[in-house]
């Protein structure tokens, strides 16, 4: 894993997941499928070296059930 600090996390809304599996086909390092074919995450933190692949996997979701959010840095938190 890179020494760069992760700046994004993945949000997966399993209630919207239709089980197409495109996310896992594009980015199997981040997106996993359970026995029912629904997305789950081992970790919601996106390593910097997987950010582009994670974005592509989220964009491939026809149900728009996955997206990336920035992680707030403690320096920027109020």
pLDDT digits (tens, 9 = 90+) for 53-76: 999 999 999 999 999 999 987 654
What the block records as the tokens of 54 is 């994670």
The Cα–Cα gap between 11 and 13 comes to 6
Return the CATH architecture of domain 8-70: 2-Layer Sandwich (3.30)
So what's the pLDDT on residue 5? 85
Residues 6+ apart with CB under 8 A from 5: 48
Kindly state the DSSP code that residue 49 receives in the 8-state scheme: G
Q: Bin 55: left if φ > 0, else alpha if -120 < ψ < 50, else beta.
A: alpha
Please report, for residues 22, 49, 64, 66, the alpha-carbon distance to residue 39 in angstroms, rounded to integers and kept in the order given: 10, 21, 12, 9
So what's the pLDDT on residue 34? 97
């Amino acid at each position: 894993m890179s020494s760069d600090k992760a700046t994004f996390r993945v949000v997966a809304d399993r209630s919207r997941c239709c089980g197409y599996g495109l996310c896992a086909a594009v980015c199997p390092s981040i997106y996993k499928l359970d026995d029912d074919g629904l997305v789950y995450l081992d970790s919601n933190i996106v390593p910097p070296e997987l950010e582009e692949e994670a974005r592509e996997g989220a964009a491939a979701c026809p149900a728009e059930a996955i997206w990336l959010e920035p992680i707030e840095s403690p320096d920027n938190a109020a």
